[in-house]
Amino acid sequence: MAVKISQAERMMNLLALLVDRTKPLTLRQIRQELGKQYPDSDEAARAAFERDKAALREIGIPIQTKTLGGDAAGEVTYSVNRSNYELSDLRLSDDERLALQLAVATVRLGAQHGEEALWKLGGERVLRPTAISVNIGLVDENMSVITDAVMQRRTLNFDYKGEKRQVDPYGMLSRSGFWYIIGFDHLRRDQRVFRVDRIEGKVAASQTRAFKSPVGFDVATAVPTEKQMLAAGDGEQATATVLVDAALAVGVRNEFGDSSVIRERPDGSVEFSIPCANMAAFRLWLFAMVESAEVLGPQVIRAQVVQWLEELTVGN
């Protein structure tokens, strides 16, 4: 069964795949490489692929096609020549590099190809790895104000958990499907992380260049990783054994490391030891994989998952 994935992420994975391969690929080969990201039926997969291909061409990515002959007569292959659209060094100033990074950088969304897509587009030639990183693919009523504040170093004012907050935003990051602002919180007088969707009401910003970001600030390490969030809790059970389908096993392995692998099954699925001390975070992580993951144990955790599913069924 096809994995539930946004078209934007699938497009980035497709682009990264075509750029990475030295030989053109057929649609059949593309579907194999990308796992279950395209629908199972040939007709639906073809339609989705054509939409992705058209969207990439619309933003200036030249996907080349070639019709094969001989034994494969009539079959079409697809490829991308990065030299046809990749920019060389633009000789930008530091401020211009930061603005460009904020505009075009991508963040890790859990898929291996998508994680590397920006660098395969030539980003390493222009952008510093320690610069601000943000993906403007999500829509939020405050997003334009926040992103402008990060670029222009404007102090933000907003309500958060019932309190008035004044924050110098050092950067933004998307992790596990949520946007975060990382910056200096004047109320707490310390660096804090704020989830954008939990901001209450409108966000207001001050004048430009109201603060300076710390030297060596790295937005990627400022927000807890999936592993850290799942482990940060007071649950009696520290870990759970989770069976993950082959299509998603690589991503989970990259996130939690080889030490999390308990057993690899012949069909490509993998049993992992996953932190679950924070049960709320564990539920979000587990349910994001829909039917591609199953809790095998311990029994108390499996029973809790069953209860969650039953509650969802009753609620619907």
Domain residue ranges in the chain: 7-84, 94-223, 228-315
Q: Which tops the pLDDT comparison, 229 or 49?
A: 49
* 85 contacts: CB under 8 Å, gap ≥ 6: 60, 61, 62
* 186 contacts: CB under 8 Å, gap ≥ 6: 165, 166, 167, 168
Read off the DSSP letter of residue 213. Answer: P
Residue 137 CB coordination number (10 Å): 13
Q: How far is the C-alpha of 281 from the C-alpha of 275, rounded, in Å?
A: 10
Q: pTM to 2 decimals? A: 0.40
Domain 7-84 and domain 228-315, same fold? Reply is: no
> Is the pLDDT score of 129 beyond 50?
no
Alpha helices, H only, 21-126: 27-33, 42-58, 94-104, 112-120
Q: What is the mean pLDDT of residues 9-21?
A: 82
What's the pLDDT tens digit per position in 255-289? 888 999 999 999 999 999 999 888 877 887 888 77
Residue 195 CB coordination number (10 Å): 13
Q: How far is the C-alpha of 95 from the C-alpha of 182, rounded, in Å?
A: 19
Q: What is the mean pLDDT of residues 35-46?
A: 86
Q: What is the mean pLDDT of residues 30-53?
A: 86
Q: Which tops the pLDDT comparison, 221 or 17?
A: 17
CATH 3.90.1150.10 fits 7-84, yes or no: no
Most trustworthy range by pLDDT among 28-42, 115-129, 294-308 = 294-308
Burial 10-20 (b: 16+ CB within 10 A, else e): bbbbbbbbbbe
Q: What is the mean pLDDT of the chain?
A: 76
> Is the pLDDT score of 312 beyond 70?
yes
Residue 35 CB coordination number (10 Å): 20
Give the pLDDT confidence score for residue 184 in this predicted structure: 93
pLDDT band of 38, cuts 50, 70, 90:
confident
pLDDT band of 75, cuts 50, 70, 90:
confident
> Is the pLDDT score of 44 beyond 60?
yes
Least confident of 6-20, 38-52, 70-84, 86-100: 86-100
Q: What is the mean pLDDT of residues 190-201?
A: 87
Give the pLDDT confidence score for residue 96 in this predicted structure: 62
Q: How far is the C-alpha of 42 from the C-alpha of 45, rounded, in Å?
A: 5
Percent of the chain with pLDDT over 70: 71
pLDDT band of 107, cuts 50, 70, 90:
very low
Handedness of CA 291, 293, 297, 303 (dihedral sign): negative
Give the pLDDT confidence score for residue 296 in this predicted structure: 94
Please state which of the four CATH numbers 1.10.3210, 2.30.110, 3.30.70, 3.40.50 is assigned to the domain occupying 228-315: 3.30.70
pLDDT band of 241, cuts 50, 70, 90:
very high
**Could you tell me which of 168, 152, 28 has the C-alpha nearest to residue 98?**
152
